Amino acid sequence: MQVIGVALPIIKPGDNLPEMILIAADKVGGLRDGDVLVISSKIVATSQGRIKELSRIKPSTRAKKIAVRSGQAPEFVELVLHEADKVLRVCKGAILTIKEGLICANAGADLSNAPRGQTILMPAKPDTAAEALRKALSEGSGAKIGVVISDSVVRPLRLGTVGQAIGVAGIEPVIDCRGQPDIYGRPLKITFRAIADQLATAAELVMGEANEKIPVVIVRDAVVEFVEKPKHSAKISQKQCIYYGGMDI
Protein backbone atom coordinates (compact mmCIF):
# COMPACT_ATOMS: atom_id res chain seq x y z
CA MET A 1 0.00 0.00 0.00
CA GLN A 2 1.25 3.48 -0.86
CA VAL A 3 0.37 6.68 0.99
CA ILE A 4 1.11 9.69 -1.21
CA GLY A 5 0.85 13.24 0.07
CA VAL A 6 -0.67 15.94 -2.15
CA ALA A 7 0.34 19.51 -1.30
CA LEU A 8 -2.18 22.31 -1.92
CA PRO A 9 -2.09 26.07 -1.52
CA ILE A 10 -4.11 27.57 1.31
CA ILE A 11 -7.80 27.01 0.55
CA LYS A 12 -10.23 29.92 0.65
CA PRO A 13 -14.04 29.99 0.80
CA GLY A 14 -15.56 29.37 -2.61
CA ASP A 15 -12.45 27.70 -4.09
CA ASN A 16 -13.04 24.96 -6.64
CA LEU A 17 -11.65 22.18 -4.47
CA PRO A 18 -11.93 19.28 -6.97
CA GLU A 19 -10.11 21.30 -9.62
CA MET A 20 -7.34 22.24 -7.20
CA ILE A 21 -6.95 18.63 -6.07
CA LEU A 22 -6.76 17.34 -9.65
CA ILE A 23 -4.05 19.87 -10.55
CA ALA A 24 -2.05 19.02 -7.44
CA ALA A 25 -2.53 15.26 -7.92
CA ASP A 26 -1.11 15.49 -11.44
CA LYS A 27 2.17 16.65 -9.90
CA VAL A 28 2.51 13.29 -8.12
CA GLY A 29 1.46 11.16 -11.07
CA GLY A 30 -2.30 11.69 -11.16
CA LEU A 31 -5.17 9.55 -9.94
CA ARG A 32 -5.57 5.87 -10.83
CA ASP A 33 -8.37 3.32 -10.63
CA GLY A 34 -8.57 1.99 -7.09
CA ASP A 35 -7.15 5.07 -5.38
CA VAL A 36 -8.79 6.35 -2.20
CA LEU A 37 -8.39 10.06 -1.52
CA VAL A 38 -8.31 11.06 2.11
CA ILE A 39 -9.17 14.76 2.32
CA SER A 40 -8.86 16.95 5.40
CA SER A 41 -12.18 18.15 6.75
CA LYS A 42 -10.62 21.60 7.20
CA ILE A 43 -10.25 22.28 3.49
CA VAL A 44 -13.70 20.87 2.72
CA ALA A 45 -15.28 23.10 5.36
CA THR A 46 -13.26 26.12 4.24
CA SER A 47 -14.27 25.69 0.61
CA GLN A 48 -17.90 25.50 1.82
CA GLY A 49 -17.46 28.80 3.67
CA ARG A 50 -17.88 27.12 7.07
CA ILE A 51 -15.75 29.75 8.83
CA LYS A 52 -16.93 31.99 11.66
CA GLU A 53 -15.55 35.34 12.86
CA LEU A 54 -15.36 35.08 16.64
CA SER A 55 -15.66 38.84 17.18
CA ARG A 56 -19.21 38.68 15.74
CA ILE A 57 -20.41 36.10 18.27
CA LYS A 58 -22.15 37.26 21.45
CA PRO A 59 -21.61 34.71 24.23
CA SER A 60 -24.53 33.67 26.40
CA THR A 61 -24.45 33.40 30.19
CA ARG A 62 -24.10 29.64 29.85
CA ALA A 63 -21.16 30.02 27.47
CA LYS A 64 -19.43 32.40 29.87
CA LYS A 65 -19.79 29.93 32.74
CA ILE A 66 -18.46 27.03 30.68
CA ALA A 67 -15.61 29.19 29.41
CA VAL A 68 -14.39 29.66 32.97
CA ARG A 69 -14.25 25.87 33.41
CA SER A 70 -12.72 25.07 30.01
CA GLY A 71 -10.34 28.02 29.78
CA GLN A 72 -11.59 28.83 26.28
CA ALA A 73 -12.82 32.13 24.89
CA PRO A 74 -16.55 32.65 25.66
CA GLU A 75 -17.21 33.44 21.99
CA PHE A 76 -15.69 30.14 20.94
CA VAL A 77 -17.67 28.27 23.59
CA GLU A 78 -20.90 29.86 22.36
CA LEU A 79 -20.10 28.63 18.85
CA VAL A 80 -19.44 25.12 20.17
CA LEU A 81 -22.75 25.10 22.04
CA HIS A 82 -24.55 26.18 18.87
CA GLU A 83 -22.84 23.52 16.73
CA ALA A 84 -23.04 20.59 19.14
CA ASP A 85 -25.90 18.10 18.96
CA LYS A 86 -25.12 17.19 22.58
CA VAL A 87 -22.60 18.34 25.18
CA LEU A 88 -21.21 15.42 27.16
CA ARG A 89 -18.73 17.07 29.53
CA VAL A 90 -16.36 19.97 29.97
CA CYS A 91 -12.67 19.66 30.72
CA LYS A 92 -9.72 22.03 30.69
CA GLY A 93 -9.08 23.07 27.11
CA ALA A 94 -11.98 21.29 25.44
CA ILE A 95 -15.69 20.51 25.47
CA LEU A 96 -16.57 16.91 24.66
CA THR A 97 -19.57 16.78 22.34
CA ILE A 98 -21.55 14.70 19.90
CA LYS A 99 -21.83 16.18 16.41
CA GLU A 100 -23.24 14.40 13.34
CA GLY A 101 -23.23 11.13 15.29
CA LEU A 102 -19.55 11.47 16.19
CA ILE A 103 -17.93 12.05 19.55
CA CYS A 104 -15.52 14.92 19.09
CA ALA A 105 -13.94 17.85 20.87
CA ASN A 106 -15.65 21.22 20.49
CA ALA A 107 -18.29 19.96 18.02
CA GLY A 108 -15.59 19.87 15.35
CA ALA A 109 -14.92 23.61 15.62
CA ASP A 110 -11.20 24.31 15.47
CA LEU A 111 -8.94 27.34 15.82
CA SER A 112 -5.81 25.60 14.52
CA ASN A 113 -4.97 26.20 10.87
CA ALA A 114 -7.70 28.85 10.76
CA PRO A 115 -7.10 32.55 10.04
CA ARG A 116 -6.54 34.64 13.16
CA GLY A 117 -9.78 35.53 14.92
CA GLN A 118 -11.70 32.86 13.03
CA THR A 119 -12.64 29.24 13.57
CA ILE A 120 -13.34 26.50 11.06
CA LEU A 121 -16.40 24.32 11.63
CA MET A 122 -17.12 20.74 10.65
CA PRO A 123 -18.14 20.42 6.98
CA ALA A 124 -21.85 20.53 6.25
CA LYS A 125 -23.32 17.11 5.38
CA PRO A 126 -19.96 15.27 5.26
CA ASP A 127 -21.19 12.17 3.39
CA THR A 128 -22.90 14.32 0.76
CA ALA A 129 -19.76 16.43 0.44
CA ALA A 130 -17.64 13.28 0.05
CA GLU A 131 -19.91 11.99 -2.73
CA ALA A 132 -19.78 15.33 -4.56
CA LEU A 133 -15.98 15.29 -4.38
CA ARG A 134 -15.83 11.66 -5.52
CA LYS A 135 -18.02 12.36 -8.52
CA ALA A 136 -16.11 15.49 -9.58
CA LEU A 137 -12.70 13.87 -9.09
CA SER A 138 -13.74 10.69 -10.92
CA GLU A 139 -15.11 12.68 -13.84
CA GLY A 140 -12.04 14.92 -13.94
CA SER A 141 -9.52 12.10 -13.81
CA GLY A 142 -11.39 9.24 -15.48
CA ALA A 143 -10.46 7.04 -12.54
CA LYS A 144 -12.69 4.98 -10.27
CA ILE A 145 -11.87 6.26 -6.79
CA GLY A 146 -13.15 6.50 -3.25
CA VAL A 147 -13.15 9.53 -0.98
CA VAL A 148 -12.76 9.79 2.79
CA ILE A 149 -13.14 13.15 4.54
CA SER A 150 -11.03 12.91 7.67
CA ASP A 151 -10.64 14.76 10.94
CA SER A 152 -8.41 14.31 13.97
CA VAL A 153 -9.82 12.69 17.07
CA VAL A 154 -8.53 11.49 20.42
CA ARG A 155 -9.36 8.06 21.83
CA PRO A 156 -10.33 7.34 25.45
CA LEU A 157 -7.31 6.96 27.74
CA ARG A 158 -4.86 7.61 24.88
CA LEU A 159 -2.57 10.59 24.34
CA GLY A 160 -2.51 12.10 20.85
CA THR A 161 -4.69 12.19 17.78
CA VAL A 162 -5.57 9.61 15.16
CA GLY A 163 -7.65 9.96 12.02
CA GLN A 164 -11.41 9.55 11.88
CA ALA A 165 -13.59 9.35 8.78
CA ILE A 166 -16.44 11.84 9.06
CA GLY A 167 -17.59 11.47 5.46
CA VAL A 168 -17.20 8.53 3.04
CA ALA A 169 -18.10 7.89 -0.59
CA GLY A 170 -17.32 5.15 -3.08
CA ILE A 171 -16.03 2.55 -0.62
CA GLU A 172 -17.43 0.31 2.08
CA PRO A 173 -16.37 2.08 5.29
CA VAL A 174 -16.76 -0.98 7.51
CA ILE A 175 -16.07 -4.65 6.83
CA ASP A 176 -18.09 -7.24 8.75
CA CYS A 177 -15.64 -9.94 9.84
CA ARG A 178 -18.14 -11.95 11.89
CA GLY A 179 -18.05 -15.61 11.00
CA GLN A 180 -14.54 -15.49 9.60
CA PRO A 181 -12.14 -17.93 11.32
CA ASP A 182 -9.29 -16.69 13.48
CA ILE A 183 -5.86 -18.36 13.28
CA TYR A 184 -7.14 -21.22 15.43
CA GLY A 185 -10.29 -21.75 13.40
CA ARG A 186 -12.69 -20.11 15.86
CA PRO A 187 -15.28 -17.88 14.15
CA LEU A 188 -15.13 -14.19 14.97
CA LYS A 189 -18.27 -13.10 16.81
CA ILE A 190 -18.27 -9.30 17.08
CA THR A 191 -15.42 -7.96 14.94
CA PHE A 192 -15.95 -5.23 12.36
CA ARG A 193 -12.99 -3.52 10.66
CA ALA A 194 -13.24 0.27 10.49
CA ILE A 195 -11.63 0.55 7.06
CA ALA A 196 -12.40 4.23 6.49
CA ASP A 197 -11.02 5.18 9.92
CA GLN A 198 -7.91 3.07 9.29
CA LEU A 199 -7.32 4.86 5.98
CA ALA A 200 -7.80 8.23 7.70
CA THR A 201 -5.21 7.33 10.32
CA ALA A 202 -2.72 6.09 7.71
CA ALA A 203 -3.15 9.38 5.86
CA GLU A 204 -2.50 11.40 9.02
CA LEU A 205 1.06 10.05 9.08
CA VAL A 206 1.65 12.12 5.94
CA MET A 207 -0.78 14.99 6.53
CA GLY A 208 0.57 16.00 9.92
CA GLU A 209 -1.18 18.48 12.20
CA ALA A 210 0.77 21.75 11.88
CA ASN A 211 2.10 23.65 8.85
CA GLU A 212 2.80 20.69 6.55
CA LYS A 213 0.23 21.91 3.98
CA ILE A 214 -0.58 18.37 2.83
CA PRO A 215 -4.35 18.24 3.28
CA VAL A 216 -4.93 15.48 0.70
CA VAL A 217 -3.46 12.00 0.60
CA ILE A 218 -3.77 9.34 -2.10
CA VAL A 219 -3.95 5.85 -0.61
CA ARG A 220 -3.05 3.40 -3.35
CA ASP A 221 -3.34 -0.40 -3.44
CA ALA A 222 -5.37 -0.57 -0.23
CA VAL A 223 -7.65 -3.58 0.18
CA VAL A 224 -11.04 -1.89 0.04
CA GLU A 225 -14.42 -2.66 -1.48
CA PHE A 226 -15.59 -0.07 -3.98
CA VAL A 227 -19.37 0.39 -3.92
CA GLU A 228 -21.99 2.78 -5.22
CA LYS A 229 -23.74 2.83 -1.85
CA PRO A 230 -22.22 1.41 1.34
CA LYS A 231 -24.07 -1.39 3.14
CA HIS A 232 -22.86 -0.29 6.56
CA SER A 233 -22.35 3.00 8.35
CA ALA A 234 -19.39 3.50 10.66
CA LYS A 235 -21.69 5.32 13.09
CA ILE A 236 -23.46 3.46 15.89
CA SER A 237 -25.82 4.54 18.64
CA GLN A 238 -24.69 5.34 22.18
CA LYS A 239 -26.50 2.19 23.31
CA GLN A 240 -24.29 0.07 21.03
CA CYS A 241 -21.06 1.79 22.11
CA ILE A 242 -18.97 -0.03 24.73
CA TYR A 243 -17.87 3.28 26.26
CA TYR A 244 -21.45 4.50 26.76
CA GLY A 245 -23.80 1.56 26.49
CA GLY A 246 -22.32 -0.92 28.95
CA MET A 247 -23.53 -1.77 32.43
CA ASP A 248 -21.74 -0.64 35.59
CA ILE A 249 -20.36 -3.41 37.80
Is the pLDDT reported for residue 238 higher than 90? no
- Do the Cβ atoms of 68 and 138 come closer than 8 Å? no
Alpha helix segments (H runs only) across the chain: 17-26, 41-47, 61-70, 74-83, 126-141, 195-207
Q: How many helices (H) and strands (E) does the chain have?
A: 6, 12
Q: What's the DSSP call for residue 72?
A: S
Specify the pLDDT at position 137: 98
Percent of the chain scoring above 70 in pLDDT: 98
Specify the pLDDT at position 249: 63
Which amino acid is present at 202? A
Is the pLDDT reported for residue 248 higher than 90? no
- Do the Cβ atoms of 88 and 111 come closer than 8 Å? no
- Do the Cβ atoms of 101 and 86 come closer than 8 Å? no
- Comparing CA positions, the residue from 29, 20, 5 lying closest to residue 217 is 5
- Would you kindly state where each structural domain of the chain is located, as residue ranges? 1-48+123-249, 51-122
Distance from C-alpha of 42 to C-alpha of 87, rounded to nearest angstrom: 22
Is the pLDDT reported for residue 187 higher than 90? yes
- Kindly report, residue by residue over 49-79, the tens digit of the pLDDT: 999 999 999 999 999 999 999 999 999 999 9
Q: What's the DSSP call for residue 10?
A: P
Question: Mean pLDDT for the chain?
Answer: 93
pLDDT band at 164 (very low <50, low <70, confident <90, very high): very high
The CATH classification of domain 1-48+123-249, taken from the options 3.30.1330.100, 3.40.50.740, 1.10.40.50, 3.40.50.300: 3.30.1330.100
pLDDT band at 247 (very low <50, low <70, confident <90, very high): low
CATH number for region 51-122: 3.90.1660.10
